[in-house]
Amino acid sequence: MINTIIKQTNMLYKSCCRLFLLFAAVAFTLNTNAQKNASTEAKINALIKKMTLEEKVNMIHASSFFTSGGVSRLGIPKLVLSDGPHAVRSDTGTYLPVGTCLAATWNPKLGYEFGSVLGSEANFHGKDVILGPGINIIRSPLNGRNFEYESEDPYLVSRMVVGYINGVQDQGISACVKHFAVNNMETNRFNVNVNLTERALREIYLPGSKAAVTEANVNTLMGSYNKVRGQWASQNSYLLNQILKKEWGFKGFVMSDWGAVHNTIEAIWNGCDLEMGTDLNQRPHRDYSKFFMGDTVVNLVRSGRIDESVINEKVRRILYVMFKTNMIDGVRKKGESNTKAHQQTALKVAEEGIVLLKNDNKILPLSSSVKTIAVIGFNAERKQAMGGGSSQAKAFYEVTPIEGLRNAGGNKINITYNQGYKIERGATADDLLIMQAAEAASKADVAIVVGGWTHGFNYSVWSDNAYDAEGYDKPDMHMPFGQDELIKAVLKANPKTVVVLMGGGPIDMTQWINNVPAILQAWYPGMEGGNALAKIIFGQVNPSGKLPMTFPKILEDAPSQKLGIISKDSMQLYYTDDIYVGYRYFDTYKVEPQFAFGHGLSYTTFEYSNLKIQAGKKNTTITFTLKNTGSVPGAEVAQVYVKQEKSTLPRPEKELKAFEKIFLQPGDSKLVKIVLDENAFHYYNDIENKWVMENGVYDIMIGASSRKIKLNGKVKL
Ligand code: BGC
C-alpha cells in the first residue's frame, strides 16, 4: 500500500515537473519572441526617426525595374525582386513545373518543397523577394495565365499556397502572393473593372490570400492591374486597408503590379506601400522619382496634404519585412542553385502532377511487348521554359517529352518522331505533316501524340502564337494548328494512340475523345517533365495527379461563358456566375463535364469503406478506410465534400472542405481521420454581411473526384 502511494506520489511529482518544464519552455519562447519583436520595433522606429522625408519616399517606389529604393547612409538595402512563380526568372537555374501542375499534385508537402527550391535559388542569386505564388482563381478556361495559377477551388488554393509560402520564407526569402485581387482574365487587364458580389469575393476569390496572410504570414502581396468595383486594385481601399490590413492583420507590405498605380493620393491613402513598374515613357533612362509615389509625395507632405505618419507606416512595413528576412542586421542563408535535390523536386512535382485522364483497356502503362513507338506532335520536342511572359524561366536544362521517352526506352524500343503540326500564327492542318505522322503511326506498336496548348516564347511574339501567355487570353477552346485533324488521322492509322496534352487547362477534345484510349494531362511540367512523363507512360511511376479544375466538354459549357457578362467594350466584367465557379456550377446546374474537378486515374484501384462521422462541440471527426486493392503501389487523393441540406441562401451542390493524399502499397489499407472545423460548414451571408454557420443537416461526401463519390454520410449540427 505504502509502496503504491510512494509510486503514485513519484509519478505525480514527475508529471508536475514535466508540466512545469513545458510551461517554462513556452514562457521562455514567448518571452524571447516578445523581446525580439520589441527590439525590432525599436530598431525600426530608430531608423525612421533618422530618415529624411526624401529618404522615406525613396523607399516606397522602384529604383529600377526589379528593385525598390534603399537608404545606404543608414544601411537599408534595396529590395531585389524576381519573378516567379516557378523559377527565379532572372537567372539560369531550376525550372519547376507550372502552378497548375503543382496544384494537380494535391500534395501540400510538395508545395513546401517547391517553395524551398525557389527560396534557396533566390538566396543564391541575391534576390530578396520571389514574385509568386500566383493564386488567382481559375474562373474561365480562356485566361492566358491560368497555367501560372493553381485552381478553381479556394480550399485547394489555400492548402497549396500555405506550403509554397512557408517553403520560400523558411529560406529567409519573401514570397509575394499575386495578383490581389480578382485578376482572372488577361484581356484588357490594364483597364477592366470587375463587378462581383461580396459573397463571391469572400467565398471564392479571397480565401487563398487570406490563408497566405493568416496561416503562412506571407511577407508581401502584389495588387493587380484591374479595377474592383470601380477602384484600381493596387490602390483599392476596401481590399487593401479594410480587408487585408484591418480584418486579416497583414503585417508585410503591398506592392503594385508593374504599372498598376494610377494616382498618388489614392495609392498613398488606400494601402499601396511600394509602387513598381510605372511606365514613364523614358526608356532607357528612367527618372524613378517621377513615379506617382515619388517627388509628388514629398510635395504633398510638405504642403500638409498628406500626413508624414502615413508614409512612415509604409516604410515601417517594408523595414519589418527586411528585418524578418535578415536583410538589415541578420545573416542570410547562402542558398544553392540547380542542385540534384532541386532537380529531384522538379521531377517529383511533375510525377505527382501529371494527370491520367483516360485509360481504356489499360493501354497504359505500355506493356513490355511494345517495341516501336511513333511519337508525334511539336510539343514533344518543344522547350516550354521561356514561354508565358513574366513567368518565363531560364532553365538550366529542359528534358522534352521525346527526350524523356528516349531516355526511358533506351535501345530496347525504337522511337520515331514526326512533327505533325506547325506552331505558327493562324496555322491550320498541314496535310503533308499529317500524312507523314499517320504513316509512322501505322508502322508502330503505339502512337503517342504530344500536343495541346503552347507557350509564347517571349514578349515580342506573344500575340503570334501564345495560347498560354501573359497579356492574352485564348480565342476559344479549340485545338490550335489543326491538331484535331492530326489526332483523327493518327487514330485511323493506329487505334492504339495515347494523347498527351500540354497547357494550363482544358482544351476541346470532343472531335476525337471517344476513340482515343488514353489521355494524359501534362501541363508545362518543368525541366524534368519529359522524364516524369516517360516514367508514367512506361509504368515506373504510378500517376496520382488530380485535376485542380473542371474540364468542360466545350467552352460554351463553362460558367464564365454561360453566366458571366462582359460589356461590349470589354471594360466591364460582371461575375454573374457568382459563387458558381468550376464544379460548384457543373454539379449544381447538372452539366456533364468532360473531366470533373478532382478527377485523375491510377494504375491501381482503391476501395473506400467504413465511413464514420462524429459531431463534437467544435469539430466534426470523419474516419474511413482506404485500401489499395490493385497490384502496384499508388496514391489516392481522398476528397471530402460538404453540402448543407437546407440553407437560408442557396448553396452549391458540394464544396471541397478537406482532402488527403494517401500512399499505399498493394493490399495495404489506412484508417484516414479528417477533422472538420466550423470553416467547413459556414458560408458568407451577404445580406447580413458576415460568415454564418447555420444549424441543420450537412451531407458529407468522400470521393475520388467531385463526381466519383465513394462514401456518403450526414451530420447534424
Ligand atoms: C505581371 C506580374 C509580374 C510583373 C513583373 C507584371 O506584368 O503581371 O505578375 O510579376 O509584371 O514582371
The pLDDT of residue 462: 45
Query: Rounded to the nearest whole angstrom, what is the distance from the C-alpha of residue 553 to the centroid of ligand 1?
Result: 32
| Residue 694 CB burial class (10 angstroms; 0-12, 13-18, ≥19) | middle
Whole-number Cα distances in Å, 62 to 291, 324, 482, 606, 706: 8, 21, 45, 53, 45
Per residue, what are the HEC states of 340-406? HHHHHHHHHHHHHHCEEEEEHHHCCCCCCCCCEEEEECHHHCCCCCCCCCCCCCCECCCCCHHHHHH
Indicate the angle between helix axes 340-353 and 108-124, nearest 10 degrees. Answer: 150
pLDDT score of 467: 85
In the reported structure, the alpha carbon of residue 390 is separated from the centroid of ligand 1 by a whole-number distance in angstroms of 6
When comparing pLDDT for 98 and 281, which is higher?
98
pLDDT of amino acid 617: 86
Which range (185-189, 230-234, 559-563, 590-594) has the least confidence? Answer: 185-189
Give the pLDDT confidence score for residue 472 in this predicted structure: 86
The protein residue whose alpha carbon is closest to atom 7 in ligand 1 is 258
**Who's near 104: CB < 8 A, 6+ residues apart?**
352, 353, 354, 355, 521, 523, 545, 546, 547, 548, 600
Measured CA to CA, the distance from residue 700 to residue 44 in angstroms comes to 50
Show the ligand 1 pocket: residues with CB < 6 angstroms.
83-84, 131, 178, 257-258, 390
Q: What distances in angstroms separate CA 229 from CA 189, 196, 237, one per listed residue?
A: 14, 7, 11
User: Do 211 and 205 contact (CB within 8 A), yes or no?
Assistant: no
**Bridge-based pairing state of the strands 683-685 and 690-692:** antiparallel
What is the sign of the dihedral through the CA atoms of 25, 27, 32 and 33? positive
Three-class DSSP category at 474:
coil
CA of 145 to the centre of ligand 1 (A): 11
Arithmetic mean of pLDDT over the chain: 94
Predicted confidence at residue 38, as pLDDT, reads 77
pLDDT digits (tens, 9 = 90+) for 425-467: 778 999 999 999 999 999 999 999 999 999 875 444 444 456 8
Which of 83, 98, 180, 225 is the best mutation target for the ligand 1 pocket, counting ligand atoms within 8 Å of the beta carbon and taking the most? 83
- Locate the ligand 1 atom nearest the alpha carbon of residue 89 and give its number: 12
Measured CA to CA, the distance from residue 78 to residue 358 in angstroms comes to 50
- Given a contact cutoff of 8 angstroms between Cβ atoms, the answer to whether 123 and 333 are in contact is yes
Per-residue confidence (pLDDT) for residue 316, from 0 to 100: 98
pLDDT, residue 427, reads 84
Read off the pLDDT band of 165 (50, 70, 90): very high
- The pLDDT value given to residue 4: 54
- Residue 247 is given by DSSP the state I
Exposure letters 305-314 (e unless 16+ CB within 10 A, then b): ebeeeebbeb
Cell of 583: 464544379
Question: What pLDDT score does 456 carry?
Answer: 76
Ligand 1 centroid–CA 315 distance in Å is: 22
Q: How far apart are CA 510 and CA 554, in angstroms?
A: 8
When pLDDT is averaged across residues 203-222 and rounded to a whole number, the result is 98
Q: Is 574 helix (H, G, I), strand (E, B) or coil?
A: strand
Dump pLDDT digits (tens) for 652-701. 999 999 999 999 999 999 999 999 999 999 999 999 999 999 999 999 99
Q: What's 194-215 look like in SS3? A: EECCHHHHHHHHCHHHHHHHHC
Which ranges of 51-177 does DSSP label H, i.e. alpha helix?
Answer: 53-59, 99-104, 108-124, 154-169
96-121 per-position pLDDT tens digit:
999 999 999 999 999 999 999 999 99
Q: Which of 605, 606, 626, 618 is nearest to 673 (CA)?
A: 626
CA dist 165 and 413 (Å) reads 42
387 vs 33, higher pLDDT: 387
Residue whose Cα lies nearest atom 6 of ligand 1: it is: 258
Q: List Cβ neighbours of 122 (8 Å cut-off, separation of 6 or more).
A: 82, 88, 128, 129, 130, 168, 171, 173, 335
CA of 524 to the centre of ligand 1 (A): 19
Q: Which residue, judged by its Cα, is nearest atom 12 of ligand 1?
A: 390
pLDDT for res 463: 47
Q: Are 437 and 431 in contact (CB under 8 A)?
A: no
Q: 548: closest CA among 30, 71, 159?
A: 159
- Between 203-212, 277-286, 489-498, 610-619, the lowest mean confidence (pLDDT) is in 277-286
Distance 463 CA to ligand 1 centre (A): 17
Tell which one of 145, 185, 470, 473 to mutate to probe ligand 1, the residue whose CB is within 8 A of the most ligand atoms: 470
Q: Among 157, 133, 144, 202, which residue's Cα sits nearest to residue 575? A: 202
Contacts of 687 (CB under 8 A, 6+ apart): 649
Query: CB–CB of 631/666 below 8 Å?
Result: yes
Tens digits of per-residue pLDDT, 308-359? Answer: 999 999 999 999 999 999 999 889 999 999 999 999 999 999 999 999 999 9
Q: What is the chain's Cα-based Rg? A: 27
Centre of ligand 1 from the C-alpha of residue 423, in Å: 26
Does 22 score more than 70 pLDDT?
no
Backbone angles phi, psi at 433, to 5 degrees: -60, -40
Give the rounded percent of residues in the chain with a pLDDT score beyond 70. Answer: 93
- Per annotation, catalytic residue among 128, 257, 577, 587: 257
In a mutational test of the pocket of ligand 1, which residue from 65, 222, 258, 458 has the highest number of ligand atoms less than 8 Å from its CB? 258
pLDDT at 603: 98
How remote is the C-alpha of 556 from its chain's centroid?
Answer: 25
Query: Strand 565-566 and strand 620-628: pairing?
Result: unpaired
Is residue 673 within 8 Å of residue 619, measured between CB atoms? no
For the chain, the residue count is 717
Residue nearest to atom 8 of ligand 1 (CA): 257
Q: What is the pairing mode between strands 129-131 and 174-180?
A: parallel
Q: What is the pLDDT of residues 461-519, one digit of tens each?
A: 444 456 898 988 998 999 999 999 999 999 999 999 999 999 999 999 999 999 999 99
Q: Give just the sign of the alpha carbon dihedral 489, 495, 501, 507.
A: positive
- For residue 669, the Cα-to-chain-centroid distance in whole angstroms is 30
Which residue, 122, 166, 160, is CA-closest to 661?
A: 160
Ligand 1 atom, smallest distance to 131 CA: 10
Distance CA 569, CA 714 (A): 48
**Residue bearing the CA closest to ligand 1, atom 11:** 258
Distance 332 CA to ligand 1 centre (A): 26
**Residue 273 appears among annotated catalytic residues:** no
Q: Is the pLDDT of residue 223 over 80?
A: yes
User: What is the C-alpha separation between 380 and 97, in angstroms, rounded?
Assistant: 16
**What is the rounded distance in angstroms from the CA atom of residue 464 to the CA atom of residue 468?**
12
Ligand 1: residue whose CA is nearest its atom 4:
258
Q: Which ligand 1 atom is at minimum distance from the Cα of 148?
A: 9
Angle 487-491-496 from CA coordinates, rounded to 5°: 120
Q: Tell me, what's the pLDDT at 460?
A: 46
List CB contacts of 606: < 8 A, sequence separation 6 or more: 626, 627, 628, 629, 630, 634, 636, 664, 704
**pTM, full prediction:** 0.95
Can you tell me which residue has the cell 508593374? 258
Query: Which residue has the least CA distance to atom 3 on ligand 1?
Result: 390
Residue 7 pLDDT grade (very low, low, confident, very high; cuts 50, 70, 90): low
